[in-house]
Structures are given as C-alpha cells and as structure tokens.
C-alpha cells in the first residue's frame, strides 16, 4: 500500500529516538508525495486545529496543470466532496476514514504521477533530491535524521507544516515527536543572535568567591604563592601589578583543570558504585527467581489437588445435567402433543367457519341470480327506447372517426416532412465533417512528409511509437464504426417496434368497430321490442329506479359487512397468534429464569462447600505447622546441648595435643641446631662454586649481545631500503591514478553531453508526436460528437413517437389502476427523509424497513419486473417522517434491497415504484425469528434473521448483519482480516 499504518517507535530498534519520538510510519519506495501529503494534513488537523488546511491543499493542487486537474476532479468527484467536507469540519476522523478509502489513495497516487520531478545529474542521492523538491513545492519544513541523530534540514520561509523523517540506510520513515517545536529560518537566526553559547564545562571565575573587587591584587599574590612555594611575600608589589592579568588567567586555568580532574574521579566512583549496585541487583534477582521457582512448585501441587476436586465436581455435574436433559425431553414431547391437539381444534373451528361462509355465499348467489333475471327483463325494455339514441350516436361517431383519420394523415405527413428535413441536415453535416476530415488528413500527410525529411534519423527510433499510434487510431475508428452500426441496428429495431405497435393499434381499432357493429345489430333488435313496450316502460321506469337504488344500497351494505367481518376475523386471528407467541415467550422466559435461579443456588452451595473445605484445610495446615515448629524447637535445644558437650571434649583434647606438641618442638629444635651447623659449611662451598659459574655466564652473555646488535643494524638497513622502494612505487601509482581520473572525467563529460543531446532530440520528437496525437484525437472527437448528435436526434424523434403512443395507452390504463393505498399506522417509506436525531436512534435499533413489492424477491434472487425497476419519485418534504419536526437537512431511509444496492453495492438504480408508499412498507426486527433460521453476525455476535444477514467475504464465508453495515458501510469496502482479499457482498 502507498500509505502504511503507524507503529510504535520501539519497533525500529533505535534507542536514540525513544526519548524524543513516540511512533513512526514506513514510507514505501517511490511514495514520498503520498506520505508527505497525508502527514501534512494530519499535522494541520491535530496540532493547528485545521488552520491553513485549505491553503496547503491549494498549494498542492496548484502544482498540477488545469486541464488534467479538471479531468481528475471529474473522475474523483466523490473524493473531492469528502475533501471539501474535511475542510469545513476539520475533523481527524474524516481523514482517517478517507485513508482507508481506495478511491482517495488512488487520487493521491494519480497526483503524484502527474508531478514530474526534474532530472538532476549532480544529485548523489535521488531520494534526498526528491524530498527536497517536494519540500519546496509543497511548502514543507522537512528534517531528515539518521540513527546517529545527524540532521539534514530543508526549511522554507512561509512553510506551515513541519515533518521529521528518518533515513535508516536508505529506508525512510516518518517519525512523530512527543511535542512539535517551531522550526523556520527566521526563528533560527534570531535564536543564534539572542542565546549565548555556554561552555559545557561550567567554568567560573575565582572572583565569585570574593566580595570585594579591590582585593584582586592580594588574591593573585596569595594564590601565586600557594602555587609556587619559592615565591617571597616580601617582593615588590609593582612587579606583580605588571603581570596581574596573566597571573589571573593562569590561576583560572589551573582551577579549571583541577575541576575537570575532580569530575573524572567523581564519574569513575559513580561508575564503580553503579557496577556494584548492578551486581547486587543481579544477585537479588537470582534469589528472587529461586524463591519464585519454589513457590511455583507449591502452587502447581495445589492446582493439581484443586484440579482433582474440580474433575470430580464436573463428573457429578454432568450426571445431574443428563438427568435434567432427560426430564426436559419428556417435557418437550408433552408440550408438543398439547400444541398438536390445540392446532387440530383450531383447524376444526376454522373449517366450521369456512362452511358457514360458503352457505352464506350460496344464499347471496341465489339472490344475485334472481336480481339479474329481473335486470335482464328491464334491459330488454330499455333496448327499444335507446335504439334511436344509439343510431344517432353511431352517425356522430362515424363523422368524428373520419375527421380524426384526416387529422392523423395530416400530422403523419408533417412528421414525415420534418424527418426528411432533419435527415437532409444530418447528411449535409456529415458531408461537411468528411470534407473537414479530408482536409485534416491532407494537412497531416504534408506535416508528416516535412517531419520525415527533417527528422530521418529520429524516425527509426520512433517508428514503433508511430505504429502504436496508428493501431490505436484504427482501433478507435473500428470502435466508432461498431458504435455506428449498433446505433443503426437500434434505430431499425425502434422503427420495427413502432410499426408493430401501429399494427396492433389498427387491429384493436378494427376489433372495436366490429364490436360496435354487433352492438348496433343488437340495438336494432331491441328497438323492435321497445316499440311494443313503450307504454309499459313509462310505468315501470320509476319502479326500476327505486329497486335499482335499493339493490345497490343492499349490495354496498353487504360488501361492507363482508369486509368488516374479514377484517375482524383477521384481527382476531392475529391477536390470538400474538397472544400464543407471547405466552410461549413468557413460559420460556419463566423457565429460563427458574433454570438460572436453580443454577445460581447450586453454584452458591458449591461455593459455600468449597469455602468450608478450604477453611478446614487451612485449619489443618495451621495445626500441622504449629506441630512442626514445636518439633523443630525441641530438636534445636537437643542439638545445642550436644554441641556444648562436644566443644568441651574438643577443648580438653586440644590442650593435651598442645602439651605433646611443645615437647616435640623442643626436641626438633635441638636436632635443627646440629643440622644448621653442618649446612652452613656446605653452603660456603656452594657459594664459591656459584661465583665461578656466574663469571663464565656473564662472559657468554656479553658475546651474545654483540652478535644481536650487529644483526639489528643489518635489519634496520634492509627495512630502510624496502621503505624507499615502496615510496617510489606509491608516487608512481598516485601519478597513474591522477591520469586515470582525468581520463574518466573527460569521458564522463563527453557522455553527459551525448546524453543531453539525445534527450533534447527525444523531447523534440515526443513533442511532435504529442501534437500529432492531439490533432488526431481532436478530429476523432469532432467526428464522434457529430455522430452522437445525429443519433441523439433520431433517438429523440423515436422517443417522442413512443411517448405519444404511451400516453394513449396510459389513458386507458388509468381506469385499471391499483386501489388507493390502505390506511396504515406506518409513516415511513423507502427514500423518505429522517432528521439527524431520528436517524441516529434508528441506527442504534435493530429495526429494518422492508417493502412488500421488491425486498422478498430480491432476497430470494428472483429478477424484478420492469414495473419494479421504474424510477420512483417520492415527495420531497422538509419534515422528518418519524417525529414530524421541520428540518433543514436530513438523511434518506431505504428498504432492505435498496440499501444493499445503493449504499453497499453502489449500484445507481431507481427504487421500486411501490417503495414510496407507506402501506407497502413496514418495520421488521432483525433479532426476532425462528431459532433454526437465525444466523450469528461476526461483528456484533448477535443472532439475526437470515433475511437481514449477508455474506461479506465469499472465501471465508464471513457473515454480517445489515444493522452493523448501516452503522458503518465502509466495512464492505475494506480487506478481509483472515484471507486478505477484497470484500464483496453476496446474498445468502
């Protein structure tokens, strides 16, 4: 990665940095800009509270050309919006979240690639030159340290950011100090003038020890006399006055040397004391280790005994749990049988209600059939009366149809003329573009011929580059032709669809005419019967109207009663189900609480038994210890008495031995005197012999010394001769090295000049190729723009026709539209706005919004129909849907499928057309559901409904709930901590 994580300074292993710096961040190779840019923003946010952050970013972006910068801003639009948000809020957490955003890192790398660092042939270290260049351009104060704390500073006058780097044998890191100190050129100059240099030896004048300054002369005399014992106090004072300054300087120097010697002695004593302390600490540490080892062995024995006790306790606990499980299984079977009986009774009651409703339905059908027969009779009577009116309407409809056909023909003719005119204009535009292209091609050929004549030598080197450009141009032309072909096919497909729809409309119109003819025929038959019943109809009309009204009212009332009954039954069913679930939940909760209480009591009893046993063992150990101490005291007393008896015996034995030894000593002394006299005579003889031997040895040594002196003289002469030869050889080698160095310098200058010439030629050729490439791209862009304009015009005409036809169809569909939304207590829909407080409360809760129309299909992997993919446009209101409070700014609330697609997968789609209806949306609790359909989220460790859980890593099968994703959507964009692959959301 371009930007790595921050680590502790101790991980570097450089002890000299631990005192001043707390952490560091490694800089990957060739990634200086990225790390300096991000570190500069961190410095301004943390230490300057965001001051000068905007100017720092402006300085960095000002280094990029305006053209590429605008394209970059368009491409990384979301990242620049985050940067604007960072400038406004000045919060470090925004920068931290951006650092883990791949788009932000890509933007920083792109900016680094746009900056071209000039070549420097004189720079020995390219990395240091790159740091210096970025320091000047980004206006940063950069201090580069080595492990030995040698500084290299790059300081700028108007810099607002200070960065410290560490150069560890070519591996660079950013190091963060405990406290930043201001560093600038002006401050340093001022400090140098104001702060005097202090002598580190802390020298002081001897005048410090005297109060009266007039006694300088006397002090100098007394000190001089103490230094030199031969100095006479009776000498003339005038002699000393002349050299007073020199004497004082000498005295100060002597005192200074004395202090230095005393300091060295004090340091030596301190080191010795430190060594002794270290030795004592080492001995103490060894004793502590031995004591801890003994203590550890005792603890291991105690743990082994406790383990035995715990093991026996676990065996008893396991037996008890098996018995409880057996009872629980029996209870579950009994509860299941009860539940089955209740379910059969409930089903029987539902069947009886269903049979009663069927009987009521049959009665209602019989009444309806009777009513229909009466209506048929009345209809037969009405036919005769309405025959004349229908005949008149038919004639009027025929005239209207003829007029509409004429109007449609006129409109069709006008549309055809407009289409031909637009095609003519597009053809002229295409001809002009082709003419322009031919002119540009001709100009391009002329320029190319001139360039070939001028740059024949460069043409061979750049031939491959030209081939690549030509292939790219051909590829672009091929792609353009394919796009034109696809657009033409699309246009033909649209025309075919339009013709097909016209054909269907014509068939529909003929079908309607046929139906009208049949109706007219029936009306003619009715008219004949109507003439006969004309008189009776007048009398029956009022009666029929009254009966019709009465029947309509009865039908309406019956329908309302049926709907109310259905609602009541559904409500009762729902309440019964909720009551049953609540009772089951209550029972399970009571059972769980009873179980926990029982376990707590058992634990408490076990703890009391364990404490009682521990107290008993402690008492036994105490008694054992007292008995042991008493036994030791008794044995000690016996041992003391035995030692006193032994000492008395030993004293008597020693006295006896002393008396015997004294007698023996006197006897030996007498024998020794006799031997001494005899040895004295022998020694005199030996001394005479030794003197003769020493004289002979001295003569031999004198001869050997003479020979050794002669040998050393010869050796000295030989060494002098070899040294002379080596000196001559060294002078000759030095002269050859100088000549070789001069030759290398000359060749390097020639090579540098040649490289400069080749670089200039390459730059000119690249500039020419870039101009040619830009001209070619401009020509292709203009051609593509013209073609897109033509296609857009054709598309617009086709869409206009389709819109007109769609409008006619929608007018017919309005009658068959869905019912109005039913009344519901829910006030939230997908895409609605929540205020900041309500959205925070929602993110803390476990509730998720679910849409009846699209969410279940999406979670089951069923492809949504076109009506569900239509763009929804919910009403935009400045009122929170939760608390109905007015707000200036809010956040959208999405249903499950829209949240996954828009917020997590970043799919830019419209919501389902029914998502914006409150009667189609409802809240679901992600923590409720059947136990076997619950999945554990790896982030919150909670059991969630499987519909609210997605797979975040396909390799590790890592599951995460939508509640955690709603709190932090950036989890889906990160790297898996187990397999280190990019995370990807998939449905279960």
Q: Does a structural domain hold residue 836?
A: yes
Question: Rounded distance, CA 402 to CA 734, Å?
Answer: 118
Per-residue pLDDT, 132:
86
User: pLDDT averaged over the chain?
Assistant: 77
**687, pLDDT greater than 60:** yes
Task: Mention every residue, 6+ apart, whose C-beta is less than 8 A from residue 447.
Answer: 772
Q: Does a structural domain hold residue 362?
A: no
**849, pLDDT greater than 80:** yes
Task: Please give the tally of structural domains in the chain.
Answer: 2
SS3 per residue for 524-583: HHHHHHHHHCHHHHHHHHHHHHHHHHHHHHHHHHHHHHHHHHHHHHHHHHHHHHHHHHHH
Longest dimension (CA), the chain: 195
Q: Report the 10 Å Cβ neighbour count for 203.
A: 12
Q: Does a structural domain hold residue 260?
A: no
Percent of the chain as helix, strand, coil, to the nearest 5: 75, 5, 20
Beta bridge mates, 949 = 961
Task: Mention every residue, 6+ apart, whose C-beta is less than 8 A from residue 165.
Answer: 27, 131, 142, 143, 144, 145, 172, 173, 174, 175
Total residues belonging to the chain:
988
Which of the four pLDDT bands, split at 50, 70 and 90, describes residue 865? low
**428, pLDDT greater than 70:** yes
Mean pLDDT to the nearest integer, 305-315 = 81
Per-residue pLDDT, 169:
84
Chain segment 234-288, per-residue pLDDT in tens: 333 444 454 677 777 778 778 777 776 776 677 778 778 888 888 888 888 888 8
Scan for tokens 């002598």, then name that residue: 199
Q: Does a structural domain hold residue 870?
A: yes
Q: Report the 10 Å Cβ neighbour count for 769.
A: 15
Chain segment 870-890, per-residue pLDDT in tens: 444 444 557 888 888 888 888
What separation in angstroms does the CA of 702 have from each of 257, 693, 698, 707, 835?
A: 49, 15, 6, 9, 116
Question: Rounded distance, CA 677 to CA 746, Å?
Answer: 99
Chain segment 58-109, per-residue pLDDT in tens: 888 888 888 888 888 888 888 888 888 888 888 888 888 888 888 888 888 8
Q: Does a structural domain hold residue 946?
A: yes
Per-residue pLDDT, 964:
92
Per-residue pLDDT, 961:
92
Question: Rounded distance, CA 831 to CA 875, Å?
Answer: 9
Helix (H) / strand (E) element for 163: namely: strand 161-168
Name the least confident of 573-577, 699-703, 742-746.
699-703
**219, pLDDT greater than 50:** no
Scan for tokens 């008149």, then name that residue: 392
Answer yes or no: are the C-beta atoms of 57 and 138 closer than 8 Å.
no
| Cα dihedral 806, 811, 817, 823 sign | positive
Which of 171, 191, 211 is the C-terminal boundary of a domain? 191
Chain segment 329-378, per-residue pLDDT in tens: 888 888 888 878 888 888 788 788 778 788 877 888 887 788 778 777 77
Plot region of 975 (φ>0 → left; ψ -120 to 50 → alpha; else → beta):
beta
Q: Does a structural domain hold residue 768?
A: no
**195, pLDDT greater than 50:** no
Helix (H) / strand (E) element for 893: namely: strand 891-893
Question: Rounded distance, CA 790 to CA 426, Å?
Answer: 6
Per-residue pLDDT, 876:
53
Chain segment 625-651, per-residue pLDDT in tens: 888 888 888 888 888 888 888 888 888
**131, pLDDT greater than 50:** yes
Which of 142, 174, 191 is the C-terminal boundary of a domain? 191
Q: Does a structural domain hold residue 817?
A: no
Tokens of 975: 């790297």
Query: Could you tell me the pTM of the whole model?
Result: 0.26
Chain segment 15-50, per-residue pLDDT in tens: 888 878 888 888 888 788 888 888 888 888 888 888
Which of 167, 191, 215 is the C-terminal boundary of a domain? 191
Mean pLDDT to the nearest integer, 198-213 = 34
* Domain membership of residue 64 as a residue range: 6-191
Tokens of 81: 């919006």
| Distance in Å from the first CA to the final CA of the chain | 32
Identify which of 783, 788, 775 has the alpha carbon closest to the alpha carbon of residue 441.
775
Q: Does a structural domain hold residue 43?
A: yes
944/228: higher pLDDT: 944
Three-state DSSP state, 711: helix
**523, pLDDT greater than 60:** yes
Three-state DSSP state, 64: coil
């Amino acid at each position: 990665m371009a930007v790595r994580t921050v680590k502790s300074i101790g991980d570097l292993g450089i002890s000299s940095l631990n005192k001043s710096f707390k952490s560091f961040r490694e800089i990957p190779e060739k990634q200086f800009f990225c790390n300096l840019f991000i570190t500069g923003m961190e410095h301004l946010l943390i230490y300057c509270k965001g001051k000068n952050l905007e100017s720092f970013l402006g300085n960095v972006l000002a280094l990029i050309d305006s053209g590429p910068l605008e394209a970059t801003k368009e491409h990384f639009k979301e990242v620049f919006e985050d940067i604007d948000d960072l400038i406004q809020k000045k919060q470090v957490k925004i920068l931290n979240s951006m650092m883990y955003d791949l788009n932000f890192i890509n933007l920083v790398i792109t900016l680094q690639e746009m900056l071209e660092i000039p070549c420097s042939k004189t720079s020995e270290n390219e990395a240091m030159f790159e740091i210096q260049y970025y320091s000047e351009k980004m206006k940063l104060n950069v201090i580069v340290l080595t492990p030995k704390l040698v500084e290299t500073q790059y300081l700028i006058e108007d810099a607002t950011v200070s960065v410290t780097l560490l150069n560890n044998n070519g591996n660079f890191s950013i190091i963060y100090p405990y406290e930043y100190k201001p560093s600038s050129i002006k401050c340093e100059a001022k400090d140098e003038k104001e702060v005097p240099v202090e002598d580190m030896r802390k020298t002081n004048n001897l005048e410090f020890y005297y109060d009266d300054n007039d006694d300088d002369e006397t002090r100098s005399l007394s000190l001089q006399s103490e230094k030199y014992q031969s100095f006479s106090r009776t000498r003339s004072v005038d002699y000393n006055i002349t050299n007073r300054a020199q004497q004082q300087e000498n005295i100060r120097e002597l005192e200074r040397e004395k202090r230095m010697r005393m300091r060295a002695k004090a340091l030596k004593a301190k080191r010795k004391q430190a060594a002794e302390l270290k030795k004592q600490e080492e001995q103490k540490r060894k004793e502590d280790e031995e004591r801890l080892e003994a203590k550890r062995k005792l603890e291991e024995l105690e743990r082994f005994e406790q383990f035995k006790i715990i093991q026996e306790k676990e065996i008893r606990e396991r037996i008890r749990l098996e018995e409880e499980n057996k009872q629980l299984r029996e209870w579950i079977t009994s509860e299941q049988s009860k539940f089955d009986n209740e379910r059969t009774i409930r089903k029987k009651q539902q069947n009886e209600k269903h049979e009663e409703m069927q009987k009521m339905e049959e009665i209602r059908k019989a009444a309806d059939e009777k009513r229909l027969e009466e209506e048929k009779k009345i209809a037969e009577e009405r036919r005769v009366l309405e025959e004349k009116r229908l005949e008149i309407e038919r004639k009027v409809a025929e005239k209207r149809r003829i007029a509409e056909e004429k109007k449609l023909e006129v409109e069709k003719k006008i549309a055809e003329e407009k289409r031909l005119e637009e095609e003519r204009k597009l053809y002229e535009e295409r001809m002009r573009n082709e003419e322009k292209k031919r002119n540009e091609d001709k100009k391009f050929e002329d320029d190319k011929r001139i360039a070939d004549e001028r740059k024949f030598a460069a043409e061979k080197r750049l031939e491959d580059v030209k081939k690549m450009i030509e292939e790219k141009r051909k590829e672009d032309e091929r792609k353009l032709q394919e796009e034109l072909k696809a657009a033409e096919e699309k246009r033909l497909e649209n025309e075919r669809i339009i013709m097909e729809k016209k054909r269907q409309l014509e068939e529909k119109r003929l079908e309607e005419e046929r139906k009208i003819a049949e109706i007219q025929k029936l009306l003619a038959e009715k008219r004949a019967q109507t003439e006969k019943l004309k008189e009776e109809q007048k009398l029956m009309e009022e009666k029929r109207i009254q009966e019709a009204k009465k029947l309509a009212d009865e039908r309406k009332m019956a329908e309302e009663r049926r709907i109310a009954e259905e609602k009541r039954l559904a409500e009762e069913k729902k309440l019964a189900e909720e009551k049953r679930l609540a009772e089951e939940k209550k029972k399970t909760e009571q059972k769980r609480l009873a179980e926990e209480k029982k376990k707590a009591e058992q634990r408490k009893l076990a703890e009391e038994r364990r404490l009682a046993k521990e107290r008993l063992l402690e008492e036994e150990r105490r008694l054992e210890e007292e008995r042991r101490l008493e036994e030791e005291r008794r044995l000690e007393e016996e041992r003391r008495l035995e030692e006193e008896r032994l000492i008395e015996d030993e004293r008597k034995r020693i006295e006896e031995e002393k008396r015997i030894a004294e007698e023996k000593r006197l006897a030996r002394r007498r024998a020794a005197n006799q031997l001494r006299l005899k040895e004295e005579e022998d020694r005199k003889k030996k001394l005479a012999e030794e003197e003769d031997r020493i004289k002979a040895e001295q003569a031999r040594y004198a001869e050997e010394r003479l020979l050794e002196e002669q040998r050393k003289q010869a050796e000295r002469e030989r060494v002098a001769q070899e040294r002379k030869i080596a000196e001559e050889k060294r002078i000759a080698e030095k002269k050859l090295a100088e000549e070789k160095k001069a030759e290398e310098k000359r060749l390097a200058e020639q090579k540098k000049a040649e490289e400069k010439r080749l670089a200039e030629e390459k730059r000119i050729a690249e500039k020419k190729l870039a101009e040619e490439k830009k001209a070619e791209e401009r020509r292709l862009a203009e051609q593509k723009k013209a073609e897109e304009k033509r296609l857009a015009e054709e598309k617009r005409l086709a869409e206009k026709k389709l819109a007109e036809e769609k409008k006619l169809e929608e007018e017919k569909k309005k009658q068959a539209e869905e019912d109005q939304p039913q009344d519901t207590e829910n006030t939230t829909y997908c895409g609605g706005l929540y205020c900041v407080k309500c959205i925070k409360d929602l993110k803390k809760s476990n509730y998720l919004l679910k849409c009846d129309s699209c969410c279940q299909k999406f979670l089951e992997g069923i492809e949504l129909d076109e009506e569900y993919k239509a763009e929804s446009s919910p009403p935009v209101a400045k009122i929170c849907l939760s608390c109905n409070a007015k707000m200036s700014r809010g956040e959208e609330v999405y249903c499950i499928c829209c949240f996954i697609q828009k917020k997590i997968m970043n799919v830019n789609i419209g919501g389902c057309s029914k998502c914006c209806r409150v009667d189609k949306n409802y809240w679901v609790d992600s923590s409720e559901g059947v136990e076997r359909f619950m999945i554990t989220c790896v982030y919150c460790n909670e059991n969630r409904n499987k519909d609210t859980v997605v797979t975040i890593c396909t390799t590790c099968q890592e599951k995460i709930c939508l509640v955690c994703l709603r709190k932090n959507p950036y989890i889906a964009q990160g790297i898996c901590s187990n397999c280190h692959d990019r995370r990807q959301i998939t449905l279960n």
